[in-house]
Amino acid sequence: MSQPNQLLDALQWRYATKIFDATKKIPADLWSALEKTLVLTPTSYGLQPYQFLIVQDAATRAALLPHSWGQKQVVDCSHYVVFTARTEMTEADVAKLIARISAVRGIPAATLNFYRDMMLSDVVNGPRGKNAHEWAARQAYIALGNLMTAAAVLGVDACPMEGLVPTEYDKILKLEGTGYKTVVALALGYRAAGDKYASLAKVRYEAADLIKVI
């Protein structure tokens, strides 16, 4: 297991990379691990109400660029991940998870009826069901944070990107009618030597300003 200082050193090293070296690509084994990080991300109830679009097609990236505030990370990074979240949650979504739990853990689906009913009464038919996309988007942000930390530990640079137009992304990525909408994106790769932001001191408040023990 990694030591605490290794984790903290990685988080101190990372920054929102502004300029990527377009010639350097993330090795296949590292990318495979990062993809698994997305799959292993925890979510409310384990429902995983999102999909991650790995946009590698150059023409598609070029089309996304003007709807990304012109940020060149979109086209220069090694891997570009668009995080999408469900627009609504249905009984079928709950049934799919129940079936998956049953298969993986080798237990009868009927033993999960209480869990099924709890999910239905909350994210499908309950108050959160009325704001399902906002709830699902929060789950997507958990995955975003998880991927950013994993990337830092593996020495991969990243830049989270909220500076985009979700509705235009949805059109270009053909998400309309799929039950998913764009939430946020993450560019990953390796910093360019000329990115001045890499050498700037990290600015954070003191721990005492942010952490209170009760």
Structure tokens at 72: 């060149």
Query: What architecture is domain 4-210?
Result: 3-Layer(aba) Sandwich (3.40)
* Cα–Cα distance measured from residue 184 to residue 169, given in angstroms and rounded to the nearest whole number: 10
pLDDT for 10-46, tens place per residue? 999 999 999 999 999 999 999 999 999 999 999 999 9
**Residue 129: per-residue pLDDT:** 95
**Residue 93: per-residue pLDDT:** 98
Name residues whose C-beta falls within 8 Å of residue 185's C-beta, 6 or more positions apart in sequence. 68, 74, 80, 81, 82, 83, 160, 161, 164, 169
DSSP, collapsed to helix, strand or coil, labels residue 189 as: strand
* Cα–Cα distance measured from residue 148 to residue 158, given in angstroms and rounded to the nearest whole number: 7
Q: What does the pLDDT average to over 172-185?
A: 98
What are the sequence ranges of the domains in the chain? 4-210
pTM of the predicted model, to two decimals?
0.96
- Mean pLDDT, rounded, of the chain: 97
Structure tokens at 65: 């660029």
**Residue 167: per-residue pLDDT:** 98
Please choose, from the candidates 176, 189, 87, the residue with its C-alpha nearest in 3D space to the C-alpha of residue 136.
87
Phi, psi of 12 (to 5 degrees): -70, -35
**Residue 121: per-residue pLDDT:** 97
Q: What count of other Cβ atoms lies within 10 Å of the Cβ of residue 167?
A: 12
**Residue 148: per-residue pLDDT:** 98
> Confidence class of residue 194 from pLDDT cuts 50, 70 and 90?
very high
**Residue 85: per-residue pLDDT:** 98
* Cα–Cα distance measured from residue 25 to residue 192, given in angstroms and rounded to the nearest whole number: 12
pLDDT of 206 > 70? The answer is yes
**Residue 154: per-residue pLDDT:** 98
Q: Are 161 and 75 a contacting pair, CB within 8 Å?
A: no
pLDDT for 58-81, tens place per residue? 999 999 999 999 999 999 999 999
CA distances from 189 to 58, 73, 212 (A): 15, 9, 35
Q: What count of other Cβ atoms lies within 10 Å of the Cβ of residue 29?
A: 9
* Cα–Cα distance measured from residue 189 to residue 26, given in angstroms and rounded to the nearest whole number: 6
Q: How many helices (H) and strands (E) does the chain have?
A: 9, 4
pLDDT for 81-135, tens place per residue? 999 999 999 999 999 999 999 999 999 999 999 999 999 999 999 999 999 999 9
**Residue 1: per-residue pLDDT:** 65
Please choose, from the candidates 49, 52, 47, the residue with its C-alpha nearest in 3D space to the C-alpha of residue 37.
52
Q: Which H or E run contains 108?
A: none
**Residue 7: per-residue pLDDT:** 95
> Confidence class of residue 2 from pLDDT cuts 50, 70 and 90?
low
